Chains A and B, each alone.
Chain A
Amino acid sequence: MSKSTRQQFADTMLALSHEDKDIVVMVGDIGHGMFKPFAEVYPNRYYNIGILEPTMISMGAGLAASGLCPVIHTIAPFMIERAFEQIKLDFCYHKLPGNIVTVGSAFDYSNLGCTHHCYGDFALLKTLPSTEICFPASPIEFDQLFRQSYQNTQLTIYRIAGTSHGVNFNPEDIIFGKGICVHEGDDVTLVATGPHLKTVLTAKNALISKGVNAEVIYIHTIRPLDVELIRASVEKTRKVVVVEEHMRSGGLGDDVLRVTYDIPGLKFHSVSIPDIFVTEYGTYEELCESVGLTPQALLLSINDWFES
């Protein structure tokens, strides 16, 4: 069984901490087993703080103010939504650096219901002027993105995907702030983030059978966004679909539209979570199907773009 992205998070922390004595990991009563090796080696740099996310965020900012490098980890809605003001004021307004690593974004914890869902996090975090946001959906992505950005001068949020897209990137191809052109094409640009690279690649193959050659762009860094790569592709194809497990409002789709709206003849479509509470139960895959995050739904949505 291949390693999960979340396990890679713990492994990367341990590996980096051998070299960097400033790293301090705080968790909100999750991930104890995963971080046991770290806690055993560095007991004074690992803290299971408890179930108090707002204070954990403020404490992280305090650690940064004291000269350390905080890495704060818990479930996305409790950290990004509940503790949003602490992120806004204690990190961003203070201009303090730090790292927030979330799990349970979108509806990864599908059966736990809306209390444990978080599909508006990109939108919220983008209101904060100095945040960086990435969405690693494979272990090597997390490792590379974290190593490249964790020591920067602002707050960086790593939204760990619960499911991998299954594509094995070369480490040298993963550059923070840069998208990846996974497949070149001329007829339509398919932009994916997170696990839905898999969805887009399936759709791309189906389009080839219809004579449509889609360009596939993978975005692991939501901010700063690789505007050049996206714009260059869409200037070529004049058609773009963005696929993401985020609410339609404020997601990657909005950003892509903002940087391409003036391209003559532009056709745009967003395959994303509607602006609703997802109240159904079932597996992650079943909820994806329910909200239309599937290759079939993607293909259907752009069917009339290629009718002769």
Chain B
Amino acid sequence: MIDNKILNKELRKKVVDMVIAGKDGHIPSAFSIIDIITLLYRDVLKFDASNPGWLDRDYFILSKGHGCLALYVNLHQHGFISDRDIDFFCKKGGILGEHPDRTKVPGAEASTGSLGHGLSFAVGIALGLKIQEQNNRIFVLLGDGECQEGTVWEAANVARNRNLGNLCAIIDWNQSAMQLMPVDDMPKKWAAFGWHVLVVDGHNESELSNAISSIEYKKDNIPTVIVAKTIKGKGVPMLEGHGIWHHRIPNEQEYSQIMEALS
């Protein structure tokens, strides 16, 4: 098995190459969540890349759609999408844009981009599968800035009151939200809505893995949220934090610096 840390560096490089080729994309947002998504696809989710609609699959919904490069490279890694798909990121005739499109991308469960939709959609899926007495698990990854959207808390309220224990939300707590609203105790907020709350280092494989495997995923239980402390741009010091890199394309020199940092 490839060491996960090495794999994540290679996937990070692929993200950067896609942004260079496509001349668009959110690198730091992808780097904030790529360790989480890579772990999910490698060790957690049940899926069949040759049959993305397999009824027994687990669902993964990337609610913060602008982090989609982290999803795309994992879908490519596991055979959902092709080399050509990657090469045509943000190009005419391609299926991969700056936000995932459920109707185009095999393995993408939701077309996200407008923040505050993914959890509500996931709650509907979780309720639907519970009604049908199915055992699929539903994972949904949200940004902490996204949690400023009111619909997130509408959905959190419903999920708890309907006991959707088959649902696990993961919060990319990279403190983007605190730039505008510094009072932002994410674990307490979710606890106040009655969820089972786990707090982990979102770049620490064993912490993440232990948290995910500790959940029972019982259909009639309280839902769980993993608040993952992350760093936007994690892996390349010059990209880390909340500065100019949110939606910037590296020039030739910067590209070399980024690749050097990832080598």
Contacts and interface: CB of A to CB of B under 8 A. Distances in A.
B125 to A, nearest CB: 4
B114 A55 contact: no
A58 B128 contact: no
Contacts of A45: 131
Most chain B CB within 10 A, of A47, A54, A55, A58, is at A55
B4 interface: no
- Residues of B contacting A: mostly: helix
B249 interface: no
A93 B114 CA distance: 12
A94 interface: yes
Interface stretch (A32-40, A63-71, A108-116, A157-165): A63-71
Contact of B158 (A50, A64, A66, A94): A50
Nearest to A60: B124
Contacts of A94: 102-103, 110-111
A70 B124 CA distance: 10
Contacts of B19: none
Nearest to B113: A89
B221 to A, nearest CB: 16
Most chain A CB within 10 A, of B109, B117, B150, is at B117
Nearest to A93: B111
A61 interface: yes
A85 to B, nearest CB: 6
A89 B131 contact: no
B124 A65 contact: yes
A250 interface: no
A85 B114 contact: yes
A288 interface: no
B129 interface: yes
Contacts of A44: 131
Interface in A79-130: 85-86, 89-90, 93-95
| A-B interface, 7 closest residue pairs, ranked by CB to CB distance from nearest | A62-B124, A66-B128, A58-B120, A59-B124, A55-B154, A52-B154, A55-B120
Interface of B: 55, 102-103, 109-111, 114, 117, 120-129, 131-132, 134, 150-151, 154-155, 157-158, 162
Interface of A: 24, 44-45, 47, 49-50, 52, 54-55, 57-68, 70, 85-86, 89-90, 93-95
Given A59-B124, A65-B121, A86-B151, 6 more contacts: A47-B162, A58-B124, A59-B121, A89-B117, A94-B103, A94-B111
